[in-house]
Structure formats: structure tokens, C-alpha cells
Amino acid sequence: MPYAQAVTSLSGEPQTAFSDLGLRDSLLRALTAQGYEEPTPIQAAAIPVLKTGSDVVGQAATGTGKTAAFALPILDGLNHSGDDRKPKALVLVPTRELALQVSQAFHAYGRDLGARLVAVYGGAPARHQIDALKRGVDVVVATPGRALDLIDRKALKLDAVRTVVLDEADEMLEMGFIEDIESILALTPADRQTVLFSATMPKRIAALADRHLRDPQRISIASKESVADEVPRVRQTSYVVTRNTKPAALGRVLDAEDPKAAIVFCRTRGGVDELTDQLKAQGYQAEALHGGLTQEQRDRVMGRLRSGATEILVATDVAARGLDVDRLTHVVNYDLPVSPEAYIHRIGRVGRAGREGVAISLVEPRERRLLAAIEKLLRGRIPTAPIPTAADVRSMRLQRTSDAIGSLLVDDLARERLESYRDAVEGLLDENDVLDVVLAAFAFAHEATQGVAGDDGDIDFNPPQEPKAKTGKKGRDKDRFDGPDKNGKNKKKNRLDVPTERLFVSVGRRSGVTPADIVGALTGETDLRGRDIGVITVHDSYSLVEVPDKLARKAIKDLNRCTIKGNRVKVRLDRGR
Ligand code: AMP
């Protein structure tokens, strides 16, 4: 680019704190409330530059935290001097969804500043948008077409604008907004600050920047060339899943992989806590690790991970910094990291000293570009696989049991140990067929080590094309936003006439259990009453029971402490329903 300026190359683990960026206290408080622990690389690099008033060309994809990178300096620079009603900042975005998303981000960060915002986009009546503009706003987030429309109607005035942001500029160009953008820019003051963010930098973007930006600073999360050499030997897989199927997808992947010790990365403290609760409710030994814990709590969590009492650690990047646990076999990017380098830091926690390491990434459709940036840094592809089906999980579990038994047969020391069981087995063979005995022994070993898979149906994990312009009127949307349905399951009404969850109980006919025993345990040991209990099916080695979803988690907790017909039971949500 002809305006080449300092290229800021960012390392994977920025050590800047939000408090180092000179932002107002009220913004810092809002960031803490969001659960952000430290700036992402693009934020650490862009915020100080934007605060100086410089123009900026930023190369960053969705998922890198770019919205806050431009929103925070804009909010920081607002000063409410009396009743000036004209907007001081204009953010142009390609789609209505992004307009809403960006304005929500402004709203969240600026909540204590009293910043006035409006999102202006097509496909909705203009009236409310015009009313808001008349009342006075500080920041307008707009799609170019509607912005021009409101300018024509004299509702949107741009002569007081100090900062213009072109967000996802490559998308806007692709959608044919170039002329609209140029017309809008022509109506803003010539001495404005102009900020351009784009995931890619084709020539047309460079030309646009050349025409409208003055001595821009170029900031990218460009990769260090040498990093690819540091990539550990790790089996890497990505799964593309929608946000609302993520928890269920994670459960499936964990069941398929059967990690000895895994670290699951989330972006925020709130995300860590929520996911930890969901995993616990599904019966996993999971613990949270984030910056909100005291040193003592942190030590306790780490101790349990090292001893094997915890199999899954759910953590933010900051909390996991410096974490060095030999037992770790899997790194799971539940949320993708905010920069390609951070990905390499994360996966560097496994696959050490010749041991096998596995890295799994759940990628939302809109984050594909960030995945591509990671692949570029790795100089290799991360294969994308479909989420394993329930049948895949069952066969992987069976394979693990077969492998374990097979390994006893080829290990001389183990064979000696086997001899000690000879009399007992011969006793069984006196009265039974050999194959029957082997089958029973296999089943016993399998269920003891792998648990029993429920006959779970299959969730459709395949993401549709990234949903555009959902109207919120359809029943489907209702399902998506219907309360704490974090597993993305469809809560059909059944004969209980309320949304239900199905519980998996690890005892069945073979332990002499009948539906009456399940009812007895539920009514005796939990808060459920008879009328709260839906369909019960007792299978050979497990049972399934439907209960109101609001009561499910508590019931699981209570039941996990009790016995049914003298058997200790394991109860969890029936995954993959
Ligand atoms: P964006 O790239 O702006 O679309 O942001 C992607 C996601 O990252 C959003 O959900 C933000 O809320 C989140 N995010 C942005 N900055 C941070 C941060 N410093 N720490 C944690 N999460 C962040």
C-alpha cells in the first residue's frame, strides 16, 4: 500500500491491560461487567492509535474483538456538552444483523456514559429511527442504503461527525455499496477521523483507503513468520456449528474423544461459568478457572486437575496463562481465540514431549475467516469434520473397550495377571457357552469403563447458511430464544404439557429396576412429585425418564447422590435427544 506506515505485528499473548489504554473508568467498569479479562491484540494495538485521532486501516476478521477496538475510543471521546443533538460518530456496516450487533456492543460498553445510540438499517420502518435521530444521538450505526435514505429525508445530519468507521469494508464493497459509501463520506467534515476495518485487503479496499484516509496507521493481526515452526505436533480438527448447538456439539465431541484431561477455552468469565454448569449437569467432571477466582480457589482447581479428580478445565486465556499440566491430552476451543497466535499458544499446552495431543475447535459459520487466518499462520489446513453422530460415539466407545481388552492379550505381564482369574472363568464355563461368557464380560467391562450410551437420537448440527435477517416472527425464533435452552434442543410439549428434558439413569432391567422404582427414587429423593414425571422407559442397562426442564438440573443433582435397588446411579441429561 502506498501509505505504508508502521505495521503492528502482534504476539499471541498481549500483556497490555485495559487499564493501560487510558480509557475512562466507566468504560473499564463496563468491560469488567462484560467478563472481558484483557484486550484482544487488535484492541491493544488499535485503541491507543485511535485515541490520538489518527486514521486507521485495520485488518481483522469477526471474532477478533474489532468492534470494541473502534467502539471504545469513540465512546471514550464523547463529551456531552449540553444538548448537541447531531451524531459525533457514524459506523457503516454491511448488514442489518451487524448494525444490531455493533449497536448492542456500543450500548453495553457505553451504559454508564449515557451514550445515545441508534441503529439505522433497512427492512424496518424508518419512523423510530427518525424519532431517535430527532431526539439526538451520539453514535449512528447504519447500513449505507438506509443512511442515505435518512440523509435525503433530512433526518440524519453528518456535519458534526468526528469519526467515521467503515466496518467489514470488504463485505460492503462486495455488496455493491461503494458509491453509497463515497456519497456519505462526502457529506462528512473533511477533517474527520476515518477508520476502515476489513477481514481481507484486496486492491479495491486499498484504493478506497487511499482516496478517503489520511496517513492511516495500518494495524493487522499479521502473523509472525516464524510461528509455524513452533506449532506442536497436535491432531487438529474443526467443527462448524451454530451457536445454539455448541453445548450439545461439545458433549458429543467429548464423548467421542474421551479425553483424560482437557482444557476448554471460553472467551469471557461468564462464558466459563455457564459452560462449566452445563457440563456438570451433563455428568462431566468439569471445573471453572478464570480471573475471578482467588489464588486459593485456583490452587484447589489445579490440584484436582493434576490428580485426575477433574477431567475438564473450562478456562479463559488469561486464567490459563502459565498453566502447565502434563496430563493434558486435549485442548478445546469452545470459543475461537481472538488471534491466530493465541491459537498456537493454546494448542501448545498439549502434544509435548512426544505425547499425542488433540486440538478441537468449534467454529461458528461467521468465524470461518478467523479460522482461515489461523490456517495461514499454521501454513496448513485444519480439517473440518462433521460432529460425530450418536452411532459414531457408540462405535468409538466399543472400539476403546476392544482395544483395552486386546492390549491385555499382548502384554506378557498382564497375561500373568489374567491367570489369577482362570478358576473363576472356568467355573462360569461349566454352565455357560463360551461366547455368552465373553459377551457378558465384554459388556461388564464396557459399561464399567465407558458408561452406557443412551439411545439418543440425532441433533442436526449442520449449520444452515449464516442466518440473515431473521424477523423474529417465526416459531423457530421462538425456540431459539425460549429461555435457558442452552443445549439448543427443541423443547416440544409432551404429555406433561410443559417443556421437558429427558434424564438418563444408569440402571435398568438387569439390575431389577422397574418404572415404579424410578418413580420412587424421583419422588423420594428429589423435589419432583408424581405428576411431574413423564414417560419412563426401562431398558436392559439404563432407563430414561422425562421431567419438566425447570426441575431437571436439581433432580440430577439429588439423584446422583442416591441408590436405586441398591445400585449407585449416575444420572445426566440424555444428550443428543
Ligand atoms: P467481534 O470480533 O468484535 O465480533 O467480537 C467477537 C466477540 O468477542 C464478541 O462476542 C465480543 O463480545 C467478544 N470480545 C471482544 N473483546 C473481548 C475481550 N477483550 N475479551 C473477551 N471477549 C471479547
pLDDT tens column, 171-219: 999 889 999 999 999 999 999 999 999 988 889 999 999 999 999 999 9
In CATH, what number does 7-222 get? 3.40.50.300
Show me where the domains of the chain are located: 7-222, 226-388, 398-449, 480-573
Cell of 218: 495500518
φ, ψ of residue 505 in degrees (nearest 5): -115, 130
Taking phi over 0 as left and psi of -120 to 50 as alpha, with beta for the rest, 309 belongs to alpha
Amino acid identity at 68: A
- Ligand 1 centroid, distance to 401 Cα (angstroms): 42
Name the more confident of 472 and 559.
559
The pTM of the full predicted model, rounded to 2 decimals, is 0.66
For ligand 1, pick from 40, 47, 333 the residue to mutate: most ligand atoms within 8 Å of CB. Answer: 40
Cell of 244: 445454539
Name the more confident of 1 and 312.
312
Cell of 271: 462464558
Residue nearest to atom 5 of ligand 1 (CA): 65
Q: What are the CA-CA distances from residue 14 to residues 20, 227, 335, 342 (Å)?
A: 12, 15, 18, 9
Surface-to-core class of residue 193, CB atoms within 10 Å of its CB (0-12 exposed, 13-18 middle, 19+ buried): buried
What's the pLDDT at 491?
39
67 lines ligand 1 (CB under 6 A): yes
Q: Coil, helix or strand for 524?
A: helix
Kindly report the average pLDDT of the chain as a whole number. 84
CATH value of 480-573 in 3.10.105.10, 1.10.3720.10, 3.30.70.330, 3.30.420.280 = 3.30.70.330
- Per-residue model confidence as pLDDT tens digits over 326-364: 889 999 999 999 888 889 889 988 877 666 789 999 999
568, pLDDT greater than 80: yes
For ligand 1, pick from 338, 363, 368, 370 the residue to mutate: most ligand atoms within 8 Å of CB. Answer: 338
- Ligand 1 centroid, distance to 120 Cα (angstroms): 22
- Per-residue model confidence as pLDDT tens digits over 501-557: 889 988 888 888 888 788 888 888 888 887 788 788 888 788 888 888 888 888 898
329 lines ligand 1 (CB under 6 A): no
- Per-residue model confidence as pLDDT tens digits over 363-418: 998 898 899 999 988 888 899 999 998 888 888 889 999 999 988 888 888 888 89
- Cβ(528)–Cβ(550) under 8 Å? no
Residue 313's contacts (CB-CB under 8 Å, 6 or more residues apart) are 261, 262, 263, 264, 286, 287, 289, 301, 305, 320
What's the pLDDT at 402?
92
Q: What are the CA-CA distances from residue 376 to residues 157, 190, 333, 379, 423 (Å)?
A: 42, 38, 18, 5, 61
Residue nearest to atom 15 of ligand 1 (CA): 65
117 lines ligand 1 (CB under 6 A): no
13, pLDDT greater than 60: no
Mean pLDDT to the nearest integer, 21-44: 94
φ, ψ of residue 214 in degrees (nearest 5): -110, 125
Cell of 317: 486465556
36 lines ligand 1 (CB under 6 A): yes
Residue 127's contacts (CB-CB under 8 Å, 6 or more residues apart) are none
Least confident piece of the model among 28-32, 48-52, 55-59, 523-527: 523-527
64 lines ligand 1 (CB under 6 A): yes
62 lines ligand 1 (CB under 6 A): yes
How do strand 543-548 and strand 500-505 relate by DSSP bridges? antiparallel
Q: What are the CA-CA distances from residue 424 to residues 51, 330, 415 (Å)?
A: 78, 39, 15
What's the pLDDT at 486?
35
Answer positive or negative: Cα dihedral of 237, 12, 331, 312: negative
- Ligand 1 centroid, distance to 502 Cα (angstroms): 34
In CATH, what number does 226-388 get? 3.40.50.300
- Per-residue model confidence as pLDDT tens digits over 450-478: 766 554 556 677 665 544 433 333 332 22
39 lines ligand 1 (CB under 6 A): yes
Mean pLDDT to the nearest integer, 38-42: 92
Q: Do domains 226-388 and 480-573 have the same CATH topology?
A: no
370 lines ligand 1 (CB under 6 A): no
What's the pLDDT at 548?
87
Q: What are the CA-CA distances from residue 363 to residues 113, 180, 332 (Å)?
A: 34, 33, 11
φ, ψ of residue 79 in degrees (nearest 5): -130, 125
Name the more confident of 428 and 577.
428
565, pLDDT greater than 90: no
